[in-house]
Amino acid sequence: MHRKAASRSIVWKTIQRVCLASSLQLSTDTDSCAADYPRTLREWDRRLKANLTQDMLASDMPELQADESAFQAFKRKWHYLFAYAGAGFAKGYITCHMMTFIREVSSACGTFTQCLTSSVAPVMKDDTPAPCD
């Protein structure tokens, strides 16, 4: 089995196990974000180059404020990460999916669907709005 296919298989089996153990269901509308990620990573890299300063990192990483070479090395690592990940997404070696997990929840208002990727949306089993907010 190809390494990429094997890792996908492991991920999907893990998702299935979690769903079974927690009474969650994976919504059928999973979206792949992989096609947009190379552009996103290029934009993050552009913004990092334009905006990152040593002073900005002073409170979280004081060692970078005093040492210019350490700061430059820090920036190079991020530039490398953005380029490497962007190439991986562009070639299809890396993927990213947005998934919505749902479960039915009963309350005094009725049964509604709870989505873990968005706020609770009260909906009756027949898709009519719940009787109370």
Q: Look up the pTM and report it.
A: 0.59
60-73 pLDDT per residue, tens: 999 988 899 999 99
pLDDT at 94 over 80: yes
Percent of the chain surpassing pLDDT 70: 69
CB-CB contact of 64 with 54 (8 Å): yes
pLDDT at 120 over 50: no
| DSSP letter assigned to residue 35 | G
Pick 106 or 112 by higher pLDDT: 106
| DSSP letter assigned to residue 25 | E
- CB atoms under 10 Å from CB of 38, counted, come to 19
Kindly report the CA angle at 120 between 8 and 21, in degrees rounded to 5?
45
Domain boundaries, the chain: 32-99, 102-133
Can you give the pLDDT at residue 118?
A: 33
pLDDT at 6 over 70: no
- Give Cβ neighbours of residue 25 (< 8 Å, ≥ 6 apart): 19, 101, 102, 103
pLDDT at 87 over 80: yes
